[in-house]
Amino acid sequence: MKELRGAKAFIFDLDQTLIDSLNRFYVAFNETLKRFSLKQIDRELFEELYKGDRLNELLGQVPKEVFWDYFLQIYDEVDAPPSKPIEGALELLELLKSKGVKVAVVTGRKTPAERLASKLSELGLMKYVDVLLTAQHDGEICRGFLKVGLLERAMGMLGVKPRECVFVGDYKPDILTGKMLGVFTVGVLTGKESAEKLKELGADLVLGSVKELLQMLKT
């Protein structure tokens, strides 16, 4: 596919795209429920609601924006099992770097980029990343889970235009972000979103995971 092979840069969402951090998501979600005096939930119910994108049903009268803003602020603070790279992620980033393709990682986490870079270094990912942006860089450029401002800033720092890059993400706002900016957008199913929903929102390509993207670029 020419859009993939001819891209000058790849921009990746982080959680559930490059790394499996669902355990951390679960712990942070329960901590946020607790913060707003809401009932915490077990893992089984969490998995059910997460897969159906129904977690907002538990927020009661707490405004969604307030709840998720707090969630993103504490995401890196909670005591949770370690995250791990999604299968194929390291190899994909290594392949892109070997081809001279620039790589950016963007995340809605409201945490210092330096702290996150340290965590990604521990996972072996950071050495392949040219630009790492978090929502803490500017609260106005990442509202909720949309990453329009983050992508715009990443493209500017990488020196590429929308038509010259690919954005890879797992969640509905990722697809919406990519399409708003006219970027070739790849949806991956490791975030448990349905392929039908990602296609409906305009994903140019839907794959099971970044491992499938790796295989496409290797052949």
101 shares a domain with 58 = no
- Does the residue 193 lie in any domain? yes
Average pLDDT over residues 5-18: 96
> Residue 141: is its pLDDT beyond 80?
no
Residues 72, 145: contact at Cβ < 8 Å? no
44 exposed, middle or buried (CB, 10 Å; 0-12, 13-18, 19+)?
exposed
The count of domains in the chain is 2
Shared domain check, 180 and 105: yes
Residue 139, pLDDT > 70, answer no
Contact 188, 17 (CB under 8 A): yes
Region of 196 please: left (phi>0), alpha (psi -120 to 50) or beta.
alpha
Share of the chain above pLDDT 90, in %: 86
| Identity of the residue numbered 208 | G
On whether both 104 and 149 belong to a single domain, the answer is yes
149-177, pLDDT tens digit by residue? 899 999 999 999 999 999 999 999 999 99
pLDDT band at 3 (very low <50, low <70, confident <90, very high): confident
Residue-range definition of the domain harbouring residue 54: 22-74
> Cβ distance 168 to 17 under 8 Å?
yes
For the chain, the average pLDDT equals 93
User: Based on the domain organization, do 40 and 97 belong to the same domain?
Assistant: no
Report, as an integer, the average pLDDT of 85-107.
Answer: 97
pLDDT for residue 143:
52
Q: Are residues 108 and 67 in the same domain?
A: no
Whether 79 maps to a domain, the answer reads no
pLDDT over 70 (residue 188): yes
Q: Are residues 7 and 113 in the same domain?
A: yes
Per-residue model confidence (pLDDT) at position 142 = 45
Over residues 40-49, mean pLDDT: 97
Residue-level length of the chain: 219
pTM for this model (two decimals): 0.93
Tell me which long-range contacts 1-4 makes (C-beta under 8 A, separation of at least 24). 1/205, 1/216, 3/166, 3/184, 3/204, 4/166, 4/184, 4/205, 4/213, 4/216, 4/217
Structure tokens at 80: 């949770």
Q: What is the pLDDT of residue 146?
A: 78
Please tell me which residue, 142 or 175, carries the higher pLDDT value: 175
